[in-house]
A and B are shown apart, each in its own frame.
Chain A
Amino acid sequence: MQYLVSVIDDQTGSANPDEMAAINAFNDRLQAEGHWVFAAGLGAPSTATVIDNRNGEAVLTDGPFMESKEYLAGFWIMEAPDLDVALRLAADGSKACNRKIEVRPFLGD
């Protein structure tokens, strides 16, 4: 079972060096324990572009699809047997990156 573990940020700027070190250590642990699928940090919301090609004519909009105080700053994709394991990992992840986190299951296949 895979979970999308999103990092929610409400301040500008990426992780500081201490947070980065903690995140790296946490990532190493995810890999060692077999929970790692993928992880990445994202550029600021202002670097996003929205594109809508539903009518066959791509319309570009500068900025994120939704302006909000909180935004997605990065994410993990984790492998876990159930929600309890995913939540325990996410709790450690939140501590490591020093930010709030959302855990959401992928649709079953």
Chain B
Amino acid sequence: MREAIAQAHREEWARVVAALTRRFGDLDIAEEAAAEAFATAVGRWPADGVPPNPGAWLTTTANRKAIDRIRREHRRDDKQKEAQMLVDKDPLEPLGVIDDQRLRLIFTCCHPALAMDTRVALTLRMVGGLTVPEIARAFLVQEAAMGQRITRAKIKIKAARVPYRVPSAEDLPARVSGVLAVLFLVFNEGYLATGPDTDPVRHELTAEAIRLTRLIRALMPEDGEVAGLLALMLLTEARRTARVSANGELVTLDEQDRGAWDAALVAEGHRLVRERLAAAVAPGRYQILAAINAVHTSARDVRDTDWSQVVALYDQLVRLDPSPIIVLNRAIAVAELDGPEVALAAVDRLDDKLGGYHAYHATRADLLRRLGCSQRSRAAYDKAIDLAGNTAEIAYLTRRREQLGS
């Protein structure tokens, strides 16, 4: 029974919240009524049995809860309530995308008028169905502060009338990439958790990010970047268990036990990458990143890696997004193709932009180590350890530093 309720929660939460938001024009009412409906299920299903159509049962129950609440509040101030409702009477513009109410919900939660932190929190609450304490824990924020952040967002959405719909065709590409940025951020926080007191890899966050990306993929199957992000996440997630050693140390790609990778996730990721290649449309950054990961995960041994292909893909990525972090990652691949000396020259040019970024110093430390410059390498490891937040990464960098000769 617990499992049946958990499954209904996973599958139906976003649908129930979306349907209620559409009907009542109010995220707060929708969220509260959905939560009450699930609480009712927890009380009733063990005795009555799981209803034949759990989604319909939950939506009906939530509708009833919402109407109860509105009646209660109408008695207090019925005119005001009516006026504040966020209504969507306009028929959807024909956009050629599937109109699913959950898609509207996602776009509203990821609206660019909200701060990034807020978009992440609101998406996890409204679409992902995580509770406020769960989200607060995930981002190491006080529960009250997280609750306030979500409440403020709901008030802004209502007061400023953030629309509840799929954006117009001209806004769509930018808005989709805004949604993907939110999901990628959730994934990355799970994959390389930054807190000193958290697990180094937080599977609950990577899993939630993948689940929501799968949902968007199902809703927008034609979007190349959605497919690209999903492939990127799957190919990264496939390596999760190989990425941290038994004693809690980060294991770099070249030292991972490739037999421990999740073959099913790798295969699914590769399928998506092939699908995008076949589409023959100029790829965006997630598709290129996915392709780079496909090259890595195609090599049974690190020595089989096609580094010229990796560098060529990074060249393509730099043309699209010449940010210093991309240039840094390109240099790491260049080290394998042209040697650490060439790579170091490229990395050193990034000093003024990436001086505060741990991966910059970790990369320099590794290149200097390979070039036999122990002293300079040690200084770079010191800086990297100082700036790194992930416990497994700190353990790895510390061991590497201790192994340096003098």
Contacts and interface: CB of A to CB of B under 8 A. Distances in A.
Nearest to A85: B163
Contact of A83 (B90, B163, B168): B163
Contacts of B162: 82-84
Interface in B234-264: none
Contacts of B80: 108
A84 B168 contact: yes
A103 B167 CA distance: 19
B95 to A, nearest CB: 14
Contact of A84 (B83, B84, B159, B171): B171
Contacts of A87: 113
Interface string B124-162: 000000000000000000000000000000000001111
A104 to B, nearest CB: 8
Name B's interface SS.
loop
Interface string B159-182: 111110001100100000000000
Contacts of A67: none
A105 interface: yes
A87 B80 CA distance: 25
B160 A105 contact: yes
A82 B83 contact: no
A81 B167 CA distance: 14
Nearest to B80: A108
Interface string A97-109: 0000001110111
Interface string B68-90: 00000000000010011000001
Given A1-B161, A105-B159, A105-B161, A83 B84 contact: no
Given A1-B161, A105-B160, A108-B159, A83 B113 contact: yes
A105 B156 CA distance: 9
A88 B90 CA distance: 18
A1 B171 CA distance: 21
Interface in A1-44: 1, 3
Interface residues of A, number: 14
Contacts of B167: 84
Nearest to A84: B163
Nearest to B170: A88
A103 B161 CA distance: 12
Contacts of B159: 105, 107-108
Contact of B83 (A88, A105, A109): A109
Contacts of A104: 160
A105 to B, nearest CB: 4
Contacts of A81: 90, 161, 163
Given A108-B83, A109-B83, A82 B113 contact: no
Contacts of A82: 161-163
Interface in A59-107: 81-84, 87-88, 103-105, 107
A55 B2 CA distance: 64
B258 to A, nearest CB: 47
A84 B110 CA distance: 13
A8 to B, nearest CB: 16
A83 B160 contact: yes
Given A83-B113, A84-B163, A108-B84, 11 more contacts: A81-B161, A81-B163, A82-B161, A82-B162, A83-B111, A83-B163, A84-B168, A88-B171, A104-B160, A105-B160, A109-B83
Interface of B: 80, 83-84, 90, 111, 113, 159-163, 167-168, 171
When A and B form their complex, which 10 residue pairs have the shortest distance between CB atoms, in order from nearest?
A82-B163, A105-B160, A82-B161, A83-B160, A83-B162, A108-B83, A84-B163, A1-B161, A83-B161, A105-B159
26 contacts: A1-B161, A81-B90, A81-B161, A81-B163, A82-B161, A82-B163, A83-B111, A83-B113, A83-B160, A83-B161, A83-B162, A84-B162, A84-B163, A84-B167, A84-B168, A87-B113, A88-B171, A103-B160, A104-B160, A105-B159, A105-B160, A107-B159, A108-B80, A108-B83, A108-B159, A109-B83
